[in-house]
């Protein structure tokens, strides 16, 4: 495609210089460049294709250099970024020096929050609206040049509990406040629940088919000289004819218009100009098509929600594969335990594909659920099922587990219920960056009495961990594994069963110079480092398996023999596995100074490749080699000067 308009858009001011008739051509160019780039690098495709016209219309009408735009489900931000001067960053999408895949204030003042979790935009927008009021800076009837506040929410995150709390408070505002609902009939997968059903009925009713005409009627009937308050009153009366009688949002005190066609740019611009200055909280309900503009993404929006790089060959689309993922391995492990134990049930919160639960949904539909974007509810539902004697497994990204910690504490652990957590995307996640890193699951769960926290280093150990959890009835249990492919170096060896608080020796000598206790896949990095050292040092390597309880007998044996311990984990330095080892040593009155911890630093790590992030965090093979040599040098045993190791890296 010949790009005639997009390269000239360096700011929303350039967008406003275009005529409304030129906007559909700009939309086509934006779709083209997003699809081309995601096909090369991977990223969020269908969500962004669905909001192109809506984003153009918002920037065409509002001035978000002055006004406030809050994103919900931040993976819908690519068109916004292209309209705010970041076209030059698109070619390095999700790389450190390129465009982040989520709103990122470090990147532009047009991004107000770095956000990748659902349900937050309405609440943060209410906060900014109240702050602007207190600062005398908000758009009101008395101050029409003040800041407007708009929150854009979509991908079914409106059903999230936090979004409901935000709506409940938004209805009490006495000022302009606009919630734009991007209703695409989808979440990351098919949306779930009664509210999703309500929107389905609304979209398919005669009401929706009349919305485009009704929106224009609203515009036509507003006299040009109407004051803001008179406009608000008139709009409120006319809106009653544009909605079904049980308009859901009006129960929260928000004036509601729609659903309107979210791809009809002229009508969107007209409608936004009409409602822009209404001095009361309102919802503009837009209907969009997720994946709009390309047959393959419209036809399978779930697969193309956040695809890996792909190639379009005529009518076929081929996703590039890089190996067998932990997610795929988990899908098989979950179905295996469900096949062997009819008491096992499973759920996910809007992530059946992302977590691998889709396979169980297909094979065991009566024992598997997708609850939608509501992790807190999912945790409580699993607690209720555990109370009835079932064996629930909750598959959730590590970063989203944080949203259900209160339920893990009160409804699960306090009750002594055996809910089993399967934590995908634990550790560093690559291109999704800081909003999605799973860096604190161990630290938040380790405080819970009787919790058993394990990590899988490969596929056999993941199966063994799931089997351990199936029979662990004392309390909450959790297994963590990364967004990565499984390593097969131990695939042909028997994998011993998990025993509570017991490590597995992978390379064990009677009198080692150093011992490494690896937690999860970092154990394999340690093995690579020891292989590289060769005969330079005698190093024992253990798959620690448990962060709670840690293997106290092993720790005691090593430290009583004055053998330095290196712990390594792709988890935050505070409160993680290494911290647990140090605490155990201290409790046993052993020399905790012999324990050297390698973990994620106490700082944010932004988007990039997972391997690059591990190197930045000091968790790559070279860093482990340096750590071993440093311990040898500290013990007076170094056979190779440390300075030579450092020099060799460059």
**pLDDT at position 590 over 70:** yes
Q: Sorting pLDDT into bands at 50, 70 and 90, what band is 203?
A: very low
Q: Which of 467, 457, 464 is nearest to 569 (CA)?
A: 457
Is the CB of residue 602 less than 8 Å from the CB of residue 578?
no
Q: Indicate the pLDDT class of residue 158, thresholds 50, 70 and 90.
A: confident
What residues contact residue 287 under an 8 Å CB cut-off, 6+ apart?
183, 184, 185, 203, 208, 211, 258, 259, 260, 261, 262
- At residue 521, the pLDDT reads 98
Superfamily of domain 6-295: Thiamin diphosphate (ThDP)-binding fold, Pyr/PP domains (3.40.50.970)
Question: 394 in helix, strand or coil?
Answer: strand
Give per-residue burial for 438-474: e unless 16+ CB within 10 Å, then b.
bbbbbbebbebeebbbbbbbbbbbbbbbbbbbbebee
Integer CA distances (angstroms), 483 to 92, 134, 327, 356, 506, in order: 20, 44, 8, 12, 23
Q: Which helix (H) or strand (E) holds 486?
A: none
* Residue 152, C-beta contacts closer than 8 angstroms, at least 6 positions apart: 51, 54, 55, 58, 69, 70, 71, 72, 76, 121, 180, 182
| Fold annotation for 326-480 | Rossmann fold (3.40.50)
Helix (H) or strand (E) holding 329: helix 326-340
The pair of structure tokens assigned to 255 is 């004036």
CA-CA distance, 191 to 182, in Å (whole number)?
13
Longest dimension (CA), the chain: 90
Q: What is the CATH class of 504-648?
A: alpha beta
Q: Do domains 6-295 and 504-648 have the same CATH topology?
A: yes
- pLDDT per residue as tens digits for the range 214-234: 444 544 444 333 444 444 444
Torsion, CA 577, CA 579, CA 581, CA 583, rounded to 10 = -140
Summarize pLDDT for 106-127 with one digit per residue, the tens.
Answer: 999 999 999 998 899 999 999 9
pLDDT of residue 190: 55
pLDDT of residue 215: 45
Count Cβ atoms below 10 Å from residue 360 Cβ, excluding itself.
28
Which residue, 550, 552, 557, is CA-closest to 540? 557
Question: 637: pLDDT confidence band, cut at 50, 70 and 90?
Answer: low
Q: Lowest mean pLDDT: which of 155-159, 287-291, 402-406?
A: 155-159
Q: In the structure, what pLDDT confidence band is assigned to residue 370 with cuts at 50, 70 and 90? A: very high
**Strand extents, DSSP E, 471-550:** 477-480, 504-507, 514-518, 539-543, 546-548
pTM of the model: 0.87
pLDDT band, very low/low/confident/very high, at 135 (cuts 50, 70, 90):
very high
Share the mean pLDDT of the chain: 89
The helix (run of H) or strand (run of E) holding residue 472 is none
pLDDT higher than threshold 80 for residue 465: yes
- The pLDDT of residue 155 is 66
Phi, psi for 585 (deg, rounded to 5): -60, -45
pLDDT, position 319: 79
| pLDDT tens digits along 231-290 | 444 444 434 434 443 467 888 889 988 889 999 999 999 999 999 999 999 999 999 999
Alpha helices (H) in 402-480, listed in sequence order: 405-407, 441-445, 459-471
Mean pLDDT of 177-188: 80
Q: Assess whether pLDDT exceeds 70 at residue 481.
A: yes
Indicate which residues carry an active-site annotation. 290, 375, 403
CA distances from 189 to 115, 160, 162, 609 (A): 20, 15, 20, 25
Q: 337-354 pLDDT, tens per residue? A: 999 999 999 999 999 999
- Place 191 in a pLDDT band, splitting at 50, 70 and 90: low
* Residue 417: pLDDT over 90: yes
Neighbours of 229 (CB within 10 A): 12
Spell out where 445-564 has E strands: 452-455, 477-480, 504-507, 514-518, 539-543, 546-548
Is the pLDDT at 639 greater than 50? The verdict is no
Q: What percent of the chain has pLDDT over 90?
A: 77
Which pLDDT does position 52 carry in this prediction?
A: 97
In angstroms, the CA 53 to CA 38 distance is 19
Give the domain ranges of the chain. Answer: 6-295, 326-480, 504-648
Residue 251 confidence (pLDDT): 84
Which of 292-296, 404-408, 502-506, 560-564 has the weakest average pLDDT? Answer: 292-296
The Cα 152–Cα 284 span in angstroms is 10
């Amino acid at each position: 495609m010949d790009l005639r308009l997009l390269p000239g858009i360096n700011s929303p001011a350039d967008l406003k210089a275009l005529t409304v008739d030129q906007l559909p051509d700009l939309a086509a160019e934006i779709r083209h460049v997003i699809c081309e780039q995601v096909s090369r690098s991977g990223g969020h495709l269908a969500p962004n294709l669905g909001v192109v016209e809506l984003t153009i219309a918002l920037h065409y009408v509002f001035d978000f250099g002055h006004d406030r735009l809050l994103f919900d489900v931040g993976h819908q931000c690519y068109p916004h970024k292209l309209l705010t001067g970041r076209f030059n960053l698109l070619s390095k999408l999700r790389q450190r020096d390129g465009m982040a895949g989520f709103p990122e204030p470090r990147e532009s003042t047009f991004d107000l929050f770095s956000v990748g979790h659902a349900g937050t935009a309405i609440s943060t927008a209410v906060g900014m609206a109240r702050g602007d009021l207190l600062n005398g800076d908000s758009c009101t009837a008395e101050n029409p040049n003040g800041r407007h506040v708009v929150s854009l929410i979509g991908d079914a995150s409106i059903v999230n509990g936090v979004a409901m709390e935000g709506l409940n408070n938004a209805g009490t505002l006495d000022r302009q406040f606009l919630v734009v609902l991007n209703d695409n009939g989808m979440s990351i997968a098919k949306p779930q629940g009664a509210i999703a059903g309500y929107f389905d009925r609304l979209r398919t009713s005669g009401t929706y088919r009349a919305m485009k005409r009704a929106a224009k009627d609203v515009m036509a009937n507003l006299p040009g000289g109407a004051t803001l308050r008179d406009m608000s009153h008139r709009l409120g009366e006319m809106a009653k004819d544009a909605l079904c009688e049980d308009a859901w949002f009006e129960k929260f005190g928000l004036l509601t218009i729609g659903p309107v066609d979210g791809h009809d740019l002229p009508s969107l611009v007209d409608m936004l100009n009409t409602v822009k200055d209404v001095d009361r909280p309102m919802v503009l309900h837009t209907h969009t098509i997720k994946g709009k503009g390309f047959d393959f993404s419209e036809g399978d929006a779930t697969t193309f929600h956040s695809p890996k790089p792909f190639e379009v060959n005529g009518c076929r689309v081929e996703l590039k594969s890089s190996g067998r993922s932990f997610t795929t391995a988990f899908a098989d492990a979950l179905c295996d335990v469900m096949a062997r134990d009819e008491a096992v049930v499973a759920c996910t919160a809007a992530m059946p594909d992302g977590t691998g639960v889709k396979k169980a949904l297909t094979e065991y539909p009566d024992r598997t659920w997708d609850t939608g974007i509501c992790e807190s509810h999912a945790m409580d539902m699993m607690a209720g099922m555990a109370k009835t004697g079932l064996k629930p497994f909750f598959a959730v990204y590590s970063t989203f587990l944080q949203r259900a910690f209160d339920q893990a504490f009160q409804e699960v652990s306090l009750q002594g219920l055996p809910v089993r957590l399967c934590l995908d995307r634990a550790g560093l996640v690559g291109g999704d960056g800081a909003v999605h890193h799973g860096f604190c699951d161990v630290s938040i769960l380790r405080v819970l009495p009787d919790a058993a926290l394990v990590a899988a280093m490969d596929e056999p150990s993941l199966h063994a961990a799931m089997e351990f959890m199936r029979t662990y009835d004392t309390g909450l249990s959790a297994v963590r594994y990364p967004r990565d492919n499984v390593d097969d170096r131990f695939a042909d060896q028997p994998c011993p069963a998990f025993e509570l608080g017991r490590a597995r020796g992978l390379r064990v000598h009677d009198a080692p110079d150093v011992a490494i206790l690896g937690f999860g896949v970092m154990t394999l990095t340690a093995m690579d480092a020891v292989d590289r050292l060769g005969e330079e040092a005698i190093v024992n390597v253990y798959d620690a398996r448990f962060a709670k309880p840690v293997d106290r007998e092993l720790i005691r044996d090593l430290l009583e023999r004055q053998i330095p311990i290196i712990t390594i984990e792709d988890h935050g330095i505070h409160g993680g596995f290494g911290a647990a080892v140090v605490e155990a040593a201290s409790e046993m009155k052993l020399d905790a100074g012999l324990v050297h911890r390698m973990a994620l630093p106490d700082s944010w790590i932004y988007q990039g490749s997972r391997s690059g992030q591990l190197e930045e965090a000091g968790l790559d093979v070279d860093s482990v080699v340096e750590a071993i040599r440093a311990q040898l040098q500290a013990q007076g045993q170094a056979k190779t000067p440390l300075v030579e190791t450092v020099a060799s890296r460059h």
